[in-house]
Amino acid sequence: MSARIALVTGASKGVGRGIAYGLAEAGWDLAINFHSDAAGAEETKRVIEAKGRRCRAIPGDVGKKSDVEEMIAAVVAEFGGLDCLVNNAGRQTWSSLLELSEEDWDKTIRTNLKGGFLCTQAAARLMKDQGRGGSIINIGSGANKQPFLNLVDYCASKGGLDQLTRVSACELGRYGIRVNCVAPGAIEIERTREESPDYAGTWSPLTPIGRIGSPEDIARMVVHLADDAADFITGQTIYVDGGLWTQTHWPY
């Protein structure tokens, strides 16, 4: 292979799309996963190719083992191997604990946590066999440690992802595979704009650095963790949040 290869799940929009763009700008070729938004994935692919990098859009449900196995096989067929996995695909349900349905709980855990496990396992097996190490980066949240009311399924899944990161790093380090988590703060994307009509106005005053974040902020950290310059960093959760989750008395 003449270029490093990264797979980003849930890359049809939002933070996943921003991460894919950042990796492409840093010289990576991309496989981008999507579940239902084929048009969004094609737009991501078009922009990546316009940056001069190779890209393949691969459909699949990260919570389904057969889909994940097919996705990894497609990456190998297209690019010959894999150097970095970014577990970004996710979902959430706005509901109180008492009202949350079992179906929504299962969907969120299946995508956010089981999906992270299945993709990590499949990618790590490939990276181990390749014998050249690799980087796995999970996209977490302030919900890794901060309880959010009416997001019980999301908080549980992201807390689990935090521990998946730690255990995976300890088990995979012997193969030269590093596993870290990037936990964004208040990031303005399509979904968060729908949640709050004045997202920046709401979250900027709560963030010590005085502004909200963008997908580019997250992408820069992912690019660093994917690179050999970070080859002694593993098992860490890094909060890219402008100090938001550092506050001990969070005014939410």
Active-site amino acid positions: 154
**Burial class (CB within 10 angstroms; exposed 0-12, middle 13-18, buried 19+) of 25:** middle
Are 113 and 165 spatial neighbours (Cβ–Cβ below 8 Å)? no
CA 41 to CA 48: how far, in whole Å?
11
Q: Hey, is 94 helix, strand or coil?
A: coil
CA 71 to CA 220: how far, in whole Å?
25
Are 143 and 113 spatial neighbours (Cβ–Cβ below 8 Å)? no
- Which amino acid makes up residue 169? A
Name residue 140's beta-bridge partners: none
Are 213 and 186 spatial neighbours (Cβ–Cβ below 8 Å)? yes
CA 162 to CA 171: how far, in whole Å?
15
Place of tokens 């902020």: 217
